[in-house]
Chains A and B, each alone.
Chain A
């Protein structure tokens, strides 16, 4: 058993923060790592079959590059979030960045283990039927069973 292992905790459910777990998991798998992602709190959004609801918000996100400088107060206006989201999606497409669905599919193909946190599934009343196939449910102890043997553990 000399296979390296990577354990990731995915806690964010926005379009931008959905990328790091799937990019790192798919790449690690391509390098021969055994990979597990534990999805908890808002990270559970990344397990839904349909990811078109994910957004990126310019509100409280001062580092997000905008085409023109805008005062923070304007970020609360209706439509700003939708605009930022479609801007980011079209930019990603133009730059040849994979969609989240595509990266997740590559993770599934590479047999990345995906575990949904049972407590937060119950807390937010997620319907596990909305999740993609092959998801396991588990708790903190289940995460440590894998993380304890891992070479790398990331909290995202």
Chain B
């Protein structure tokens, strides 16, 4: 299991807010640190993959449990 340095609660938020909040939260981390994001928007799965790919911040892991989507993104 990946260990996070910071958690972002994006539950209840809809597109594009989870991505925008993630961008902001990553800005406060230093290179190599990991942000854990918890979201409920089903569109987030594809969006976070696309975000990671385009911003070159690796998506280390993602999981789904009880209607929640969890992502671990490492700041590049």
Listed in ascending order, the chain A residues whose CB lies under 8 Å from chain B are 23, 26-27, 30-32, 95-98, 103, 106
Chain B, range 4-45, C-beta contacts under 8 Å to A: 12-17, 19-20, 22-23, 40-41
B3 interfacial by beta-carbon distance below 8 Å: no
Chain B, range 40-75, C-beta contacts under 8 Å to A: 40-41, 51, 54-55
Docked-complex contact B41 and A96, CB < 8 angstroms: yes
What is the number of residues of chain B that contact chain A, defined by CB distance less than 8 Å?
A: 15
User: A95, A96, A97 — which one has the most chain B CB atoms within 10 A of its CB?
Assistant: A96
Docked-complex contact A30 and B14, CB < 8 angstroms: no
Docked-complex contact A98 and B17, CB < 8 angstroms: yes
Closest-CB distance, A89 to chain B (whole angstroms): 14
Docked-complex contact A27 and B55, CB < 8 angstroms: no
Closest-CB distance, A104 to chain B (whole angstroms): 12
Partner of A96, one of B12, B23, B54, B55: B12
Q: How far is the CA of A26 from the CA of B20 in the complex (A)?
A: 7
A30-B23, A96-B41 given; A23·B16 CB < 8 A: yes
Of all chain B residues, the one with the shortest Cβ separation from A109 is B24
Docked-complex contact A97 and B14, CB < 8 angstroms: yes
Docked-complex contact B12 and A30, CB < 8 angstroms: no
Docked-complex contact A32 and B55, CB < 8 angstroms: yes
A32-B54, A32-B55 given; A96·B16 CB < 8 A: no
Closest-CB distance, A68 to chain B (whole angstroms): 25
A32-B54, A32-B55, A96-B41 given; A27·B14 CB < 8 A: no
Of all chain A residues, the one with the shortest Cβ separation from B26 is A30
Docked-complex contact B19 and A96, CB < 8 angstroms: no
Known: A27-B19, A30-B20, A98-B13. 6 other contacts (CB 8 A): A30-B51, A31-B51, A31-B54, A32-B54, A97-B15, A103-B16
Q: How far is the CA of A95 from the CA of B43 in the complex (A)?
A: 13
16 A–B pairs (Cβ distance < 8 Å), ordered by A = A23-B15, A23-B16, A27-B20, A30-B19, A30-B22, A30-B23, A30-B55, A95-B14, A96-B13, A96-B17, A96-B40, A97-B14, A97-B15, A98-B17, A103-B16, A106-B20
